[in-house]
Structure 1
Amino acid sequence: MVRFPLFLSLLVSATFVWAQPVPKPKTSASKASSSALNLNLPIPVDPAVKVGKLPNGLTYYIRKNVEPKNRAELRLVIRAGSVLETDNQQGLAHFMEHMEFNGTKNFPKNELVNFLQTAGVRFGADLNAYTGFDETVYQLPVPTDSVKLFREAFQILEDWAHNATIDPTEVDKERGVVLEERRLGRGAGQRMRDQYFPALLNNSQYSKRLPIGTEQVLTTFRPETLREFYKDWYRPDLMAVIAVGDFDTKEVEGIIREKFSRIPVVKNPKPRTEYEIPAHKDTKVVIVTDPEQPNTVIQVIYKRPEIKEKNLNDLREGIKRGFFNTMLGNRIQELTQRSDPPFLGGYSNYSDFLGNLDAFTSIAVAKEGNVEKAIRAVLDENARVKQFGFTATELARAKQEFMTNVEQAYSERNKTRSANYVNEYVQNFTDKEPYTSIEFYYDFLKKVQDGIKLDEVNTLVDLFIHNDNRAVIVMAPEKDKAKLPTKEQILTYIDESGKGLTAYEDKTLSSPLIAKMPTGSPVVDAKKINDINVTEWKLKNGVRVILKPTDFKNDQILFSANSLGGTSLYDFKDFQSARFSSTLAAMGGTGEYSQIQLGKFLSGKQVSVYPYVGELSEGINGSAAPKDLETAFQLIYSYFTQPRKDADVVKGFLSNQRSGLQNQINTPTPAKVFQDTVAVTLGNNNPRRQPLKPDDLDKIDLDRALKIYEERFANGGDFTFFFVGNFKEEQLKPLVEKYLGGLPASDKTEKFKDLEIRAPKGQLSKTVYRGLDPKASVQLVYSGDITWSPETATQLDALGEVLEIKLLEKLREEEGGVYGVGASAAYAKYPVPRYTFRINFGCSPDNVEKLIAKTQELINDLKQKGALPADIAKFKAETRRETEVQLKDNQFWLGYLQNQYYNGDAPDEVLHEKEQLDKVTVESTKAAANQYFGSNYIRLVLMPEKKQ
């Protein structure tokens, strides 16, 4: 897998770039002063991490961590990536990553993947790797409750480090896979990036060494050239082994020393050049267009030398930058909530960049292609900070948000998952990023936060914004090329930004969320399901509440609610008003609070509540820290009983939506056209499955939408609420009775209306011809009715997994025709029990028919013989291992319980998984293949445009 830094992902995006969401944290900072601290001291490393170095130069990081239990996250990190390639090696750092899965000394050919799948480790989802400009990282999550398997995992890491076979036959087979991965990345973003990268990266080595490489090299390189890269850069002085998990630290250190000390020291190693991106005095302006670019994106990038955090003062400076980014992000987000927003999306942020640089980046997505208005709006906000600074109240909120996020991490320190730790140690090894304990950081923040004053945060803007080492990138649709401003005009917009500004006014509200507290109603019935520690309550007003207290997280309570009905109950003339009803209601805020004021009010609180209206149901989703649970209940009650109308915000939202939709019509991307075709086809051309168009928004009536919203949430007694997380029932009960028991309710119950939208019966084939690149997308869809039962669900899941295993073996490993392939079933009980089985992959247009034929051969083989016992065993192992972790996860339990009650299924069904898995056999997969790969078959293919 190729990995790009965050900045590059933003730059090549052909869709909207939105300002960062506002976090909602809380705490009161310590009164301790930073004056007593010696800020010149180095940042202390986390004492829980055992770091060592072998005589051959290999570094290792070991940390015991028991979440999740009986699991470990292992990494092999090579401080070498594509930037080190020679001209005739372009793409081989990434190719080498692929070859590590195609044969090593102890795991020939594909035995490595096969061995791990048998142990329940999924290829791609669990077992994976990525190659960047400066590093290559191999990811291996493994169980630790099997001593043999755990030791074998380290053997795999050692084999990757110096025992890759690089068999010429396997190299030639893998060429097709890597070329298909490269094909997937082609498109407008890639074409434009190829044009602006040399300017943005100032013709540095980074601009010439994209990890995916060149087609010429990938097609023609000799295996000896790949071995040369492996020999030069896969060496112990450039390697780190990272192990975090539920294991004995001394035992793991012994295994690492035993296995990795066997790697010999490289005599006269090739120097590892640290490439830089040279600074430049001028402003690089690049305007690029493409026929498949749907909107106009403007980026102003102020590059500066990378800030390396080494001592406590650097840590304090990083906190200041965090405050700055939060406050500026909030201001820019507010611009989208005007009646006439100046852009579709905007963003300004200071972060790391690439090589030796950081960058302050401002991005705007122009509305109706108005480059000047969009970029001036974002840059004016930067300039407003420069001229007037932030306000004291903004800084206070930013401090609250920052502190609460850290406070939450501190409270979860004994419940933090191993996967959350490993990246810190990867960054330490590859880029010398410091890692410290959350205990130290939390204490340090309490000591220094009060001492960070407004004026020192305000002065950061002078550090970030400057005229040298600046780049401006404009990406636009080809059809708008003649309308675009010149380079000189763009520079004028930038240099003249900030004229005629006034200071930002921080408008807040201090009223209570609920002016008149509700009159509650008590719990009148209670039932316990002991096997899964779930309690059911029935309130006097009819509300049903399902509770599962857990200790999986210290600072997390998740909740949801649902009621049947949704947009299905409304005629098509009200469809658009109904489908947008919850969105428009939430945009108004709630009670007396506008959306902006509500965000400010919730600063310092770890709480979120979102109402929704779907097709078959409506409800609430949300989360809260235990200390903010009453605020969450007040928000729930408020969203039910006092939605707020804000015509100006809605007007601006719909204006932006129209502009965005019009862009998609004017310059439809191949992927969007294909997705729309798939949706319309599977929806049997039903009016409710048509792509959203600008004139559909004209059918939205705000008053009607709010009326529909009120109707959907008028009867609280028809709702079931679910709470999962760190709470005690006796503490939750008064809040439930007061706020949920106070919801308006009646005895009336509703059900959804079956709109009779089904995938078409019989066989159907559609080919869409869109796109300039020689790439195709394939979706093969089977559908039909099912008998709803746990056994049906398990058999469908098994069928998807065993087919996907075989498709990867055949289409990827044998044919080299795809990079990835998916096969899975979706199934639902409502509106009627149905399944949809999809197979999808991308490939060369020349291979479409061959690969579809190979897929059908595999399906026919399953129908005739059933799945191989070995593949069934892999499915069972993967399912069992996944469930072990899920049973200790709040999010899993919330979704699971909601589904079980929604469908009327047994709440304790998850405890009987083994019984269902035992029913998966060769014969059952044969029967399932014959039943579910039936006569209802739809073939959908995206092909490039036919050349005239």
Structure 2
Amino acid sequence: MVRFFSCLSLLLCTTLALSQPAVQPKQGKSPARSASPASKAINLNAPIPTDPAVKVGKLPNGLTYYIRKNAEPKNRAELRLVIRAGSVLETDEQQGLAHFMEHMAFNGTKNFPKNELVNFLQSAGVRFGADLNAYTGFDETVYQLPVPTDSARLFERAFQILEDWAHNATIDPAEVEKERGVILEERRLGRGAGQRMRDKYFPILLNNSQYANRLPIGTEQVLTTFKPETLRQFYKDWYRPDLMAVIAVGDFNATEVEAMIREKFGRIPVVKNAKPRRDYEIPAHKDTKVVIVTDPEQPNTVVQVIYKRPEIKERTLNDLRESIKRGLFNTMLGNRIQELTQQANPPFLGGYSNYSDFLGNLDAFTSIAVAKEGNVERAIRAVLDENARVKQFGFTATELARAKQEFYTNVEQSYSERNKTRSANFVSEYVQNFTDKEPYTSIDFYFDFTKKVLPGVALDEVNTLVDQFIRNENRAVIVMAPEKDKAKLPTVEQIIGYVDSAGKDLKPYEDKTLDAPLVATPPTPSPVSNAREIKEIGVTEWTLRNGVRVVLKPTDFKNDQILFSGVSFGGTSLYELKDFQSARFSSTLAAMGGTGAYSQVQLGKFLAGKQVNVFPFVSELNEGVNGSAAPKDLETALQLLYSYFTQPRKDPDVVAGFLSNQRNALQNQINTPTPQRVFQDTISITLGANNPRRQPLKPADLDKIDLDRAISIYQERFANAGDFTFFFVGNFNEENIKPLIEKYLGGLPATPGKTEKFTDLGIRIPAGQLSKTVYRGLDPKATVQMVYSGDLTWSPETTTQLDALAEVLEIKLIEKLREEESGVYGVGSNASYSKYPVPRYTFRISFGCAPENVEKLIAKTQEIINTIKQNGAAPGDIAKFKAETWRETEVQLKDNQFWLGYLQSQYFNQDEPTEILRENEQLNKVTVDSTKAAANKYLADNVARFVLLPEKKMEIGK
């Protein structure tokens, strides 16, 4: 897998609060200022302390290791092999070989010939791609290996795999030849408008640095012609212990792990006369670089203004304090720009400004706007004016207070979960420490540090950051637009004028807030009238006097998390076609209005610093609400839920702005449809039997929405809570939560005994055999989707057999289409099924490939299906499915999100809630004969074949 820079992906806002016990990503740096009284007791010149829970060592050969014992999840470990070498170190003759080498590590090592490594791990329950994976960046290559630790042999072999990757890759010429096709298919998948435009603006944005010429995917010329010796040279030069780190975090004996690392990796010899590992830089420039690029397949006009500045290296506690200031700045500016979308006529489809890391030796302050109707000037001025508003008037004290509360709450949550943090959340911090010397500290220290310094961060300190972020030198502007709009685009001089003249005739920001209760009149509670326990799974079920059913599962999986949902049958299926669009958007438009006395913006400000999320929804067959809260904020969350049920608020201006943006975005997609968009629309229309409710959304559909009717439908859907079932999973006890549930759920309007059902609209995938070919796109690439469907008998055994068939087929498809044919990068086989409106299944096989290989690979796929139909799946593949399923369930049973979804599904489908306890019984029914029967039953006559081919049909088959 390649991981490379993209202005629209890498420049996304970094997370402002810690999601794991470690220092957050750097967000910029400002000169040290006078410390506030609260922070004077802290020596801000002191270095950031490392987390004492991490054992860091270095072997005599130079290899670094990080070890941390962590019991979440139990009996699991996250292992990484990190090579501080990526595509930026390639020679001209090696372009793409850092990534190619990553692939070859899975295709044969000293102790795991050919594909034995993947087979071995799959047999242990480790999924290829989902669990076992790797990525190549500009500056590093990282191998990811999550493994069970309850088998000493398996755990030891996992470290043998890491060692083999480090210096025992065989690089067999025959395997190299086979892998060429896989890599070229991966490269093919990345082709399109984004790639074509990136190739034009990268050299200018990156000032013709090494980074501009070393995308990890490489060049087709090198990938098709390089000799194995050239690849071996890259492996020899850069896969060496002084550039390597082994990271192990998990539920294990740390002393034993250290001994294993020392034994296995200590035998890697030191490389004599090692090639110097150069750190490349992106040169600064005084002028403003402007790049205007267009493409026939680019649907929107996107403007990016990038202020590049030297990378911040956080080393001291003052640096840590500065990062907090940058986080506060990003939060406040982000909230202001988000508010612009709440206008009746928003200036852009989307936008943001943010300070974050960039690439190489640089950070950047980046402003991005997606223009409406191609109006570049209005879009970018709107974002830049918000930057300028901060420059002229600063933020307000109330904004800072909210941002501080948000920041503190997020750090506090990480601290409260310090003994429940999953191992996967730690490893990336240690990877960054090794590759970029990013510090890592304990959440205990960081929480204490935050408590001490956050109150003393003054408003003027944060306000002055904008002067450091926005400077005229080292500035770049990139405009990406549809080819058809080329003549309408501003000139380079005009664009520079927009940027330089931003901020005229501005007024200070008004921070409009509201201080009122969410629920002005307390609801009248309904007590629990009936209760039953399902002890086998630790679930209690209550029925309240107003008819509301509540299903509760208290857990200790997370300290600061309660997840909840509520659902009722009905949905948009109950409404005639003339009301379909109003019904479809009813919950969206109601939520956009806010609730009760609060507008959506005011509600966001009111909830700042609270861990509360509540979202109503209306789907085709049901309606309901999803949410989450910290235990201390649960009452606020239930008040919000109650308010969404009883106090929907209509905001015509916000809705008008939303619909205006949606119309514009949809029109852009119609004017410049991407190949994948046309392809997916074709699939949806065909599988939906051309039903009006399965048509792609069009601008004219939005004209059918009536706000009053939408709100009326929303009120109808939530008028009777008596036929709702609510689910609560997380850190609570029944005694404490009971009064809140009786008050807020028991107080909901209800008509006990009155229940609704959905309407079966009769929409089915057409029976028989269908074939559709879509000719779209400029690139020589194809997409294939084969869709099998039909009725089924609803039972746990049926769904397990479908899951098994999907997994064994995918294993075989990867083996044949990727490893043997070298015809695809990835291939998916997926089974989905539902009980309502009638029991049905859908089985999809999908892959991308070269246009000339479509028929050959479809035929090969059919051969594989026919083999399973005739002989059943291979016993080894069945064993892999069982191992993967069992290992996955083992972790899921300790996960709140899994239990919420599982309980919802069981109750919605009226299935036995304890079925999860019989999973092994169902898995044991998966046999060679059962997969044979399933293939003959479910991969039968009802199949729709869809193929996306380039527009230049005459070139296909050459």
TM bucket by the smaller chain?
over 0.9
Paired residues for 1:110-509 under 5 Å: 110-509=115-514
* Structure 2 equivalent of residue 14 of structure 1: none
Letter in 2 for 1:120: G
> Alpha-carbon deviation of 1:9?
2.1
For 2:953 and 2:946, how far apart are their aligned partners in 1?
A: 21
Rate the CA distance shift 1:886–1:242 in 2: closer, same or farther, 3 A.
same
* Structure 2 equivalent of residue 60 of structure 1: 65
* Native 8 Å contact 1:779 1:839 kept in 2: yes
For 2:306 and 2:70, how far apart are their aligned partners in 1?
A: 40
Runs (4+) of structure 1 exceeding 4 A deviation are 5-8, 17-25
For 1:115 and 1:307, how far apart are their aligned partners in 2?
A: 43
* Native 8 Å contact 1:126 1:141 kept in 2: yes
Letter in 2 for 1:9: S
User: Aligned residues, how many?
Assistant: 938
For 2:507 and 2:832, how far apart are their aligned partners in 1?
A: 54
For 1:457 and 1:22, how far apart are their aligned partners in 2?
A: 17
For 2:609 and 2:213, how far apart are their aligned partners in 1?
A: 45
> Alpha-carbon deviation of 1:5?
4.4
SS in 1 for 2:658: helix
Letter in 2 for 1:897: L
> Alpha-carbon deviation of 1:4?
2.4
For 2:227 and 2:924, how far apart are their aligned partners in 1?
A: 48
* Native 8 Å contact 2:788 2:943 kept in 1: yes
For 2:522 and 2:755, how far apart are their aligned partners in 1?
A: 26
Superposed CA offset, 1:698-744 (max 9, x none):
00000000000000000010100000000000001000000100000
Paired residues for 1:11-26 under 5 Å: none
* Structure 1 equivalent of residue 712 of structure 2: 707
* 1:735 equivalenced with 2:740 (yes/no): yes
Paired residues for 1:642-721 under 5 Å: 642-721=647-726
> Alpha-carbon deviation of 1:465?
0.1
SS in 1 for 2:40: helix
* Structure 1 equivalent of residue 823 of structure 2: 817
* Native 8 Å contact 2:17 2:407 kept in 1: no
Rate the CA distance shift 1:909–1:799 in 2: closer, same or farther, 3 A.
same
For 1:5 and 1:856, how far apart are their aligned partners in 2?
A: 38
For 1:83 and 1:774, how far apart are their aligned partners in 2?
A: 28
For 1:513 and 1:781, how far apart are their aligned partners in 2?
A: 48
> Alpha-carbon deviation of 1:604?
1.0
Rate the CA distance shift 1:333–1:19 in 2: closer, same or farther, 3 A.
farther
Among the aligned pairs, what percent are the same residue? 81
Letter in 2 for 1:585: A
* Native 8 Å contact 1:19 1:346 kept in 2: no
For 2:73 and 2:411, how far apart are their aligned partners in 1?
A: 21
> Alpha-carbon deviation of 1:10?
5.3
* Native 8 Å contact 2:298 2:483 kept in 1: yes
Counterpart pick for 1:98 among 103, 114, 124: 103
* Native 8 Å contact 1:23 1:401 kept in 2: no
Superposed CA offset, 1:873-926 (max 9, x none):
000000000000000000000000000000000001000001000000000000
* Native 8 Å contact 2:10 2:358 kept in 1: no
Letter in 2 for 1:67: E
Superposed CA offset, 1:503-534 (max 9, x none):
00000000100110100110000000001000
Paired residues for 1:72-87 under 5 Å: 72-87=77-92
For 1:676 and 1:732, how far apart are their aligned partners in 2?
A: 46
* Structure 1 equivalent of residue 852 of structure 2: 846
* Native 8 Å contact 1:78 1:137 kept in 2: yes
* 1:635 equivalenced with 2:635 (yes/no): no
Counterpart pick for 1:528 among 522, 533, 555: 533
For 2:916 and 2:703, how far apart are their aligned partners in 1?
A: 46
* Native 8 Å contact 1:537 1:545 kept in 2: yes
SS in 2 for 1:56: coil
SS in 2 for 1:908: helix
> Alpha-carbon deviation of 1:32?
7.9
* 1:3 equivalenced with 2:27 (yes/no): no
Superposed CA offset, 1:160-184 (max 9, x none):
0000000000000000000000000
> Alpha-carbon deviation of 1:21?
11
For 1:717 and 1:8, how far apart are their aligned partners in 2?
A: 46
* Native 8 Å contact 2:614 2:626 kept in 1: yes
* Native 8 Å contact 2:182 2:818 kept in 1: yes
For 1:20 and 1:763, how far apart are their aligned partners in 2?
A: 48
For 1:611 and 1:19, how far apart are their aligned partners in 2?
A: 27
For 2:886 and 2:136, how far apart are their aligned partners in 1?
A: 31
For 1:340 and 1:8, how far apart are their aligned partners in 2?
A: 24
SS in 2 for 1:773: coil
For 2:685 and 2:862, how far apart are their aligned partners in 1?
A: 24
For 2:6 and 2:193, how far apart are their aligned partners in 1?
A: 18
> Alpha-carbon deviation of 1:36?
1.1
For 1:866 and 1:383, how far apart are their aligned partners in 2?
A: 67
> Alpha-carbon deviation of 1:824?
1.1
Letter in 1 for 2:838: V
Letter in 2 for 1:292: E
* Structure 1 equivalent of residue 896 of structure 2: 890
TM-score (norm 1): 0.98
* Structure 1 equivalent of residue 800 of structure 2: 794
For 1:174 and 1:604, how far apart are their aligned partners in 2?
A: 51
> Alpha-carbon deviation of 1:223?
0.1
* Structure 2 equivalent of residue 834 of structure 1: 840
Counterpart pick for 1:927 among 909, 920, 933: 933
Counterpart pick for 2:787 among 771, 775, 781: 781
Superposed CA offset, 1:415-463 (max 9, x none):
0000000000000000000000000000000000111000010000000
* Native 8 Å contact 1:24 1:401 kept in 2: no
Paired residues for 1:512-661 under 5 Å: 512-661=517-666
Counterpart pick for 1:865 among 841, 854, 871: 871
Give the gaps of 5 or more residues in structure 1.
12-16, 26-30
For 2:740 and 2:343, how far apart are their aligned partners in 1?
A: 36
* 1:757 equivalenced with 2:793 (yes/no): no
For 1:177 and 1:743, how far apart are their aligned partners in 2?
A: 57
Give the gaps of 5 or more residues in structure 2.
21-35
Counterpart pick for 1:108 among 105, 110, 113: 113
For 2:520 and 2:87, how far apart are their aligned partners in 1?
A: 61
> Alpha-carbon deviation of 1:23?
12
* Structure 1 equivalent of residue 29 of structure 2: none
Superposed CA offset, 1:379-402 (max 9, x none):
000000000000000000000000
TM-score (norm 2): 0.97
For 2:317 and 2:762, how far apart are their aligned partners in 1?
A: 64
For 2:887 and 2:419, how far apart are their aligned partners in 1?
A: 22
Letter in 1 for 2:702: L
- Aligned-residue CA RMSD (Å): 1.3
* Structure 1 equivalent of residue 24 of structure 2: none
